[in-house]
Structure 1
Amino acid sequence: MTVTAPPPPRERLLSPTYAATTIGMFALCAFVAFEATAVTTVMPTVADRLDGVGLYALSFAAPLASGVVGMVAAGGWSDRRGPALPLGVALVLFSLGLVVCGTAPTMEALVAGRVLQGLGGGAVTVCLYVLVGLVFPAALQPAVFASFAAAWVLPSLFGPALAAFVAHSVGWRWVFLGVVALVAIAAGLVAPALRRAPVTVADTPFPAGRLLWAVAAAGAVLGFELLGSRRGALLALAAAAFVVTVVALRRLLPTGALLGARGLPAVVATRGMLSASFFCAEAYIVFVLQEQWGQSPGQAGIALTIVGVVWAAASQVQSRLGARVSDTAAMVWGTALVLGGIVVLALVVAADLHPALAVASYVVAGAGMGFGYPRTGVAMLAASSATDRGFNSSALSIADSLGGAFALSASGIVYATATRAGADPFVPVFVLAAAFAVLGTLAAARTRMA
């Protein structure tokens, strides 16, 4: 009689082989996401304590801009030598940035720490993606990426309240410093997988030219805010920084992306403008709730939590609708919701209405992001081939990060100008965010592929 051996047990993310790696990678993603989003709750307090409200916008733009440099550098380095060493360097930079932020005596020092934090965080994300392909079988990879998505959602749900609690209990500095030890523990969980991962030495050239353009773009975006907030001759240098930003982006993005040319370039432009409009508003929603309506960091942070829930729910809705809603329609509706939400937010702030209306309008914008933002990735892949998929994927991430960074830098200039003029600085900031949303809506309408 023939005895049929039972099939081997199906591997799972939390099976003994992968459990430590899965938990460690999830934790690293969550820590990067926490420092990218949850600190929004305490940043108004930080700016006030360090007497650095003039650099408030730059503290958000800095990690977005430097993150692009980290992404490009880590991608090229990982392709040539594997992810182990670049991930180690990235974690050191990320942790060093947290320490600098947590011990910063001035706002200038904190911004420098945010630059290091973004540089390391951007590189960490890329290295983890590379590690997934080396360590996990194809059948488990979708589940790993789903866990990464959850790692970014959870900080938006619980991070604001946690950051506010930590700041109230032991001080805002521990919102940064408290994560350092946790990063070390998570890195220890991932280390065995890095040692097991096959090392492939590739002969492909390191993308030095692309890295230089990424550095130029990041530096120009940050310089634009620093110089544009000043007076006199420095304004001319701000114009020069703007020109450098445009030239660098032309090298990093598909041809026609800056003008929203029909098809793929418009998809990339839509992603950049969605990021620009929403994250410009996000940086100031907690600030205005505290300054104009006297809410505590914990109360104001509830807005971020609600938006995290609504964003995730809207993402699920667009996913379930699938092909019944085209990518172009989803992007148009998404950008329109972002535009409508931010316009109402500006009106609520200008008329000094109830803060609940400000939160509600911001939530509408979050629903637009959840509905339209994921489809930019779907549309990009649909328009790509095997020969340009990597470049287009990178371009979408670059547009995302630098779009948000540029908008935040511009908002810093607008805020400083309005403050000097004795006007309400929040209304023009939200009007600026709405203007980016208008551009996003126009670009979304041109995303239909020929």
Structure 2
Amino acid sequence: MGMFGLIAFAAFEAMAVTTVMPTVARDLDGFDLYALSFAAPLASGVVGMVGAGAWSDRVGPRGPLLVAMALFSLGLLVCGTAPTMEVLIAGRVVQGLGGGALVVGVYVVVGLVYPSALQPAIFASFAAAWVLPSLFGPGLAALVAGAVGWRWVFTGTIVVVLLALVLIAPTLRRMVAHPEGTATSVSRLGWACVAAVAVLALELLGSGGSLAKVAAGGALVLVLVALARLLPVGTLVGRRGLPAVVATRGLLAASFFSAEAYVVYVLQDRWGLSVGHAGIALTVVGVVWALASQVQSRLGARISHERAMRWGTAVVLTGLVVLVAAVALRGRGSDLPAVLPVAAYVLAGAGMGFAYPRTSVAMLAESTDRDRGLNTSALSVADSLGAALALSVSGVAFAAARSSGADPFLVVYALAAAIGVLGALVAVRTRT
């Protein structure tokens, strides 16, 4: 119940922030940093993931989880009291550190406590933990923002994180370090810091002048070099087996979450929906994601990990392609109803629900007590850094398209679809 609560509260925060971020950016005059507000916690989360993975392999997950919850709460407090968009970004960085460590700590607990036969159901329950936040998070966030201000969307979450700590504390107290505890090279943490800084620098520099764009290109190279050090050998080229599993997870996150960040924005800007009505898309996609996760869990061994990931990535790609078409037609003056882009986004969410949990199960199947934390952190790094990198690039592309008179939303969604193609290609190589 404690782990379920942690995932549910993190899900509520993610849904709520996605809903109110256009309002936040408008209030703090920070639309230039809109994409960075989503990329920042994902990038800093990489540092938390690597640190928590190494720490968990050495002494177990108790310490990482406690520190993660403290950092997550501190970040929420900074965001809720931020006077400027820059301070809010700083709070998102701290929040990301805690959130990244929290995910790894919870995953390691699953690997230690539950047998492999139950793990698909556990990860499906984590997906189900998004259901209530999906149903009520966007609407509640819009209501809170309208009634008492968007700041309470951040600070109000701190209380429920403390409730989750009360539930999980008894189990954490009983945990001890496993006898095969091992130390991870400190260089991994250094490369995680390099990757996080480079991702943020890419978004900040990419919209500048010629010299700044050159520097942004250097930052992109640094991100790729760091990824090569943080992920299993062969991940960047989709080598068969565990590297392809990790790459599939990263590409799924990159394509879907870079598209999701602009869903409320595009529905408000192009279809004229209110914050509450646009947030309904987030509600529906959360429910569909959870249902698809339950379906793959029920199928169990009747469908292989590779097939689940292959089917899921294909569905995600289909949804993104339809979303690109809807935005393009609307940009040319078509009177397409808002239900079409929402349906395309929901379809992509169904693909994520089917494939996403299986990447975790496939990773754990290839892990032992000696490297479970390392592999878990690698999977989470690919997930978080893949999405952060895609968001930074999409932020640069959005700004460049808007300044040149092109359709910025079309550019962003075309980029997400192109990443989806890569994900579908790599998924066929996930069989061990």
Q: How far apart, in 2, do the equivalents of 1:325 and 1:144 lie?
A: 17
Q: How far apart, in 1, do the equivalents of 2:176 and 2:359 lie?
A: 33
2:415 maps to a residue whose letter is: L
Contact 1:97-1:117 within 8 A present in 2 as well: yes
Greater RCO, 1 or 2 (C-alpha within 8 Å, sep 6+): 2
**Deviations 1:372-411, CA, capped at 9 Å, x for gaps:** 2223233334455666554333322211111111111111
TM-superposed CA distance for 1:30, in Å, is: 2.1
Contact 1:77-1:86 within 8 A present in 2 as well: yes
1:70 maps to a residue whose letter is: G
1:212 maps to a residue whose letter is: G
Q: How far apart, in 2, do the equivalents of 1:28 and 1:380 lie?
A: 22
Cross-structure match for 1:319? 297
Q: 1:201 to 1:261 in 2, by over 3 A?
A: closer
Q: How far apart, in 2, do the equivalents of 1:265 and 1:186 lie?
A: 33
TM-superposed CA distance for 1:291, in Å, is: 1.2
- The match for 2:406 among 403, 423, 431 is 423
Q: C-alpha root-mean-square deviation of aligned residues, in Å?
A: 2.7
TM-superposed CA distance for 1:199, in Å, is: 6.7
Cross-structure match for 1:10? none
Q: State how many pairs are aligned.
A: 426
Cross-structure match for 1:433? 416
Q: Is structure 2 residue 257 aligned with structure 1 residue 274? A: no
Cross-structure match for 1:110? 88
- The match for 1:299 among 277, 281, 292 is 277
| Identity rate, percent | 66
Cross-structure match for 2:360? 377
Q: How far apart, in 2, do the equivalents of 1:82 and 1:65 lie?
A: 24
Q: 1:285 to 1:368 in 2, by over 3 A?
A: same
TM-superposed CA distance for 1:424, in Å, is: 2.0
**Deviations 1:146-165, CA, capped at 9 Å, x for gaps:** 65443344322321122112
TM-superposed CA distance for 1:186, in Å, is: 3.6
**Deviations 1:35-92, CA, capped at 9 Å, x for gaps:** 2333111111111111111111111111111112112212333444554544333222
Stretches of structure 2 that go unaligned for 5 or more consecutive residues are: 331-335
TM-superposed CA distance for 1:26, in Å, is: 3.4
* Secondary structure of 2:406's aligned partner: coil
Contact 2:104-2:377 within 8 A present in 1 as well: no
Q: Is structure 2 residue 391 aligned with structure 1 residue 408? A: yes
* Secondary structure of 2:210's aligned partner: coil
2:399 maps to a residue whose letter is: A
Cross-structure match for 1:358? 341
Cross-structure match for 1:18? none
Q: How far apart, in 1, do the equivalents of 2:388 and 2:291 lie?
A: 26
1:61 maps to a residue whose letter is: A
Contact 1:80-1:201 within 8 A present in 2 as well: no
Cross-structure match for 2:333? none
Q: Is structure 2 residue 152 aligned with structure 1 residue 174? A: yes
2:385 maps to a residue whose letter is: L
Deviates more, 1:256-265 or 1:160-169: 256-265
Contact 1:68-1:122 within 8 A present in 2 as well: yes
> Within 5 Å, which residues of 2 pair with 1:49-448?
49-129=27-107, 147-191=125-169, 193-195=171-173, 197-198=175-176, 204-205=182-183, 207-352=185-330, 353-384=336-367, 388-448=371-431
TM-superposed CA distance for 1:317, in Å, is: 2.4
Deviates more, 1:317-326 or 1:36-45: 317-326
Contact 1:260-1:266 within 8 A present in 2 as well: yes
Q: 1:235 to 1:186 in 2, by over 3 A?
A: same
**Deviations 1:151-186, CA, capped at 9 Å, x for gaps:** 344322321122112112211111001112333344
TM-score in terms of structure 2 length:
0.90
Cross-structure match for 1:3? none
Deviates more, 1:387-396 or 1:207-216: 387-396
Deviates more, 1:48-57 or 1:330-339: 330-339
**Deviations 1:334-370, CA, capped at 9 Å, x for gaps:** 2121111111111111211211101011111111112
TM-superposed CA distance for 1:303, in Å, is: 0.6
1:57 maps to a residue whose letter is: A
Cross-structure match for 1:28? 6
Tell me which structure has the larger Cα radius of gyration. 1
